[in-house]
Structure 1
């Protein structure tokens, strides 16, 4: 099959799996169609120096670049190849060179470059997110703003671990008791230095030496969570019988206890990340990006009860990218954090249970209840925490998967039994 013009491309329909269709006129040029409806132009060419190798370059999305421009771009690339130049190598060199002016620049300048790079990668990468949320951007600016006010005018190679630690300790010791902000400021400062070292902008990531020297981000008051079976049963019943919200919000709320992931990961759940055949949901936790204590990928076994709920949701949002897609005119493509926060307040559980609290509820009950009694390692793996074995190696995303599959089904059966028992009581 070959397409000749934009009308032909627009007529290409989505399938269960992504596929490519050749574009007439230029050898190796094609359009790739994804299950979520996205379409991108690609060019595959013969490597000028390595026989048999045919690299592939993404030339743009159909909404961002015209077919005429794509063909011109493809012809220019093929012209370079014919002269013995690898276009990918040129592109990579341009990426390196664009930061050359920041060699040993000030912290303020490099931190802004880090932020700009993160924004650009989110738009161009595979995360499928439209952009970082406004709250995320504000938190970056808050944390790095503290650091820039204190050391923003210092050159990267002149900054020491002691200087970074002093700034972060001052944040944690201020009158607001900002433990979390101080720890997060240290983390983001380390990210800025990592960005700089990788691009040759400074000699060393001195922020690494501050690890473990501050009060951790989760110290202080814990988020509210119910961990007693009878109280948890009452909560499940109240959630199940509550009807004063949209179907999408109610389904998200009632699915949360079964999977006990972070609110942001549940709310941004994508249909394409669900493996229906193996009953698995695999994704990259948003809060795990760059965190040394959390996994970058998480596999959540889906109990039969969860599969049934998700099948029911397909008639509502199956045509959308996100399972819990926002139906309002909003920049957020899925339901907001405030939506779940408010629903627990309306249920009467303010200061007793929050969306994030189901992680603590599940871990405690899974380890303590006689009919469950799962180990700390298995529950921590399912929570997406990075842990080490006795030899110092980190468990990977599929470790203990068979046990976790059984655990998640046992957990679903357990909380169903709790809810049913609670409803039968007078």
Structure 2
């Protein structure tokens, strides 16, 4: 007699496994502990076999019969239901093993040794933040251009167009790696060519006229925030390094006795020397009692083990009324480059060296970090003196150093 829900609910376990038959090979197996499992008994290839169909009451009598009927259809078509299930499980595991995230991390691990540490960290963070939450668990072979476009457009919509282009490029490299290793047929990112608007080159906001510079310097002078941020603001125009290099500056790289800051330029992975003016040294000596016991010259307000955030200086300038269209952290570099050349008359190659740009001699050889160091040391002091002069209200020739400031010859 076929089973009913009432019979199943009232069935009690025994000392041994009990079996309650339904029909067409379906039966309920009751363990001594009270667990109830649906089983389907069938023959295939002359052998008796069993297929588990789930646990009661999670799988109702109706659903168990539907699963039995599906298995019987497979048998009618010459398919072993047990082998069919095993094949599906293997295929599913294979898809998980070949998910976008798994392959992306494999690709990253393969090429990481050939990249700088910063680049490797940036690449994986871009994928973790922008791609993995939406595409990471999907089989890479199943992904198509529209799915990728949705992820990329999400980045574009938050205003990070350049990042969107870079993430798309990373995804393309992951797909090409999957093709090369036999886990995808093609790179669908190529179908998205032209889907994103081009990135327009932009110049960081900067003031390059002396009177504008003087106004910015006076605003900085009036900053009333923390000593750490105030010191960073005062030092930024004097050394005109890249903002990231300033906020990550480490005390171990400074020699205040010789007035030098020596570090590795992240962008080019090359050593660089920044001669420090007397004004710069004074700022650092004033700050040293506060942060000199730690690693960073300008530590984060939240943790001394981390550097100041990349937004700290910009946020301070905004609070002082200096708009982002007027000046950015990068703007101090443009300010120095323009005025050192056009107003103070220093040789362009001295300026380019101090900006840590790639400068080559007439024979095409790269200058080393000590090239023109004495001249650059004089230039940095003249620059600091000039900034003091225009900040105090001097203009024109009155702001120029009284000694021969030009190193153009």
Q: CA deviation at 1:341?
A: 1.6
Q: Report the CA distance shift for 1:241/1:175 in structure 2 as closer, same or farther (over 3 A).
A: closer
The answer for the alignment partner of 1:347 in structure 2 is 320
| Most deviating of 176-185 and 389-398 | 176-185
Q: Distance in 1 between matches of 2:257 and 2:173?
A: 38
1:412 to 362, 384, 387: 384
Is 1:372 the counterpart of 2:345? The answer is yes
* Paired position in structure 1 for 2:402: none
Asked if the contact 2:107–2:174 (Cα under 8 Å) also holds between the matched residues in 1, the reply is yes
- Are positions 1:360 and 2:360 aligned together? no
RMSD: 5.2
Q: Which moved more, 1:336-345 or 1:276-285?
A: 276-285
SS in structure 2 opposite 1:298?
Answer: strand
Counterparts of residues 170-181 of structure 1 (less than 5 Å): 180-181=162-163
Q: For residues 333 and 273 of structure 1, what CA distance do their matches in structure 2 show?
A: 16
Distance 1:343 1:384, change over 3 A: same
1:303 Cα deviation after fit: 1.1
| 1:373 Cα deviation from its structure 2 partner | 3.1
Question: Does 2:226 correspond to 1:250?
Answer: no
Contact 2:251 2:296 in 1 (8 A): yes
* Alignment pair present for 1:260 and 2:240: yes
SS in 2 for 1:378: helix
Q: Quote the Cα distance in structure 1 between the aligned partners of 2:208 and 2:255.
A: 31
Matches of 2:269 and 2:281 in 1, distance apart? 24
What TM-score do the two structures reach when normalised by structure 1?
0.52
Contact 1:295/1:385 (CA < 8 Å) preserved in 2? no
CA contact (8 A) 1:111 1:144 kept: no
What are the superposed Cα offsets for residues 263-298 of structure 1, whole Å, 9 maximum, x if unpaired?
221111111101234321111233x1xxxxx35322
Q: CA–CA distance in 1 between the matches of 2:367 and 2:170?
A: 25
Any unmatched runs of 5+ in structure 2? 1-97, 142-148, 183-193, 400-409
Structure number, greater radius of gyration: 2
Using the TM superposition, give the Cα deviation of residue 334 of structure 1 relative to its aligned residue in structure 2, in angstroms. 2.2
Matched, 1:324 2:274: no
Shift of 1:422: 5.7
User: Secondary structure of the equivalent of 1:337?
Assistant: coil
Q: Deviations over 1:29-60 (max 9, x none)?
A: xxxxxxxxxxxxxxxxxxxxxxxxxxxxxxxx
In structure 2, C-alpha distance between the alignment counterparts of 1:391 and 1:110, rounded to whole Å: 45
Cα distance in 2 for partners of 1:386, 1:106 equals 42
Pairwise CA distance, 1:372: 3.4
Q: Aligned partners of 1:406, 1:106: CA distance in 2, in Å?
A: 58
1:75 aligns with none
Q: CA deviation at 1:399?
A: 2.6
CA spacing shift, 1:270–1:235, aligned 2, 3 Å: same
- Please, which runs of 5 or more residues in structure 1 have no aligned partner? 1-104, 155-166, 203-213, 289-293
> By how many angstroms is 1:331 displaced?
8.2
Determine the C-alpha separation between the residues in 2 that align with 1:228 and 1:387. 26
Q: Provide closer, same or farther for how the CA distance between residues 419 and 330 of structure 1 changes in structure 2, counting only shifts above 3 A.
A: same
In structure 2, relative to structure 1, the CA distance for the partners of 1:297 and 1:178 (3 Å cut) is same
Q: Number of aligned residue pairs: give it.
A: 285
Q: SS of the counterpart of 2:262? A: strand
C-alpha distance in 2 between matches for 1:389 and 1:192? 40
Q: Secondary structure at the match of 1:297?
A: strand
Q: Which residue of 2 aligns with 1:4?
A: none
Helix, strand or coil at the partner of 2:270: coil
The DSSP-based 3-state class of the residue aligned with 1:112 is helix
Question: Counterpart of 2:251?
Answer: 271
Partner of 1:315: 289
Give the Å deviation of 1:138: 4.0
Which of 369, 374, 385 aligns to 1:402? It is 374
Which has the larger displacement, 393-402 or 180-189? Answer: 180-189
| CA offsets 1:225-257 (integer angstroms, 9 cap, x no match) | 111100101110110122x21111101111100
Quick check: 416-425 or 296-305, which moved more? 416-425
- Contact 2:296/2:305 (CA < 8 Å) preserved in 1? no
For the Cα contact (< 8 Å) 2:245–2:265, is it kept in 1?
Answer: yes
With over 3 angstroms needed to count, the CA separation of the structure-2 counterparts of 1:238 and 1:178, relative to structure 1, is: closer
Give the TM-score, by structure 2 length.
0.54
- Taking the TM superposition and a 5 Å limit, the aligned residue runs for 1:52-131 are 109=102, 111-113=104-106
Distance in 2 between residues matched to 1:358 and 1:250, nearest whole Å: 16
Structure 1 pair 220–322 and aligned structure 2 pair: CA distance change class (3 A): same
The aligned counterpart of 2:308 is: 335
Aligned to 1:33: none
Give the structure 1 partner of residue 21 of structure 2: none
The partner residue of 1:284 within 245, 260, 264 is 264
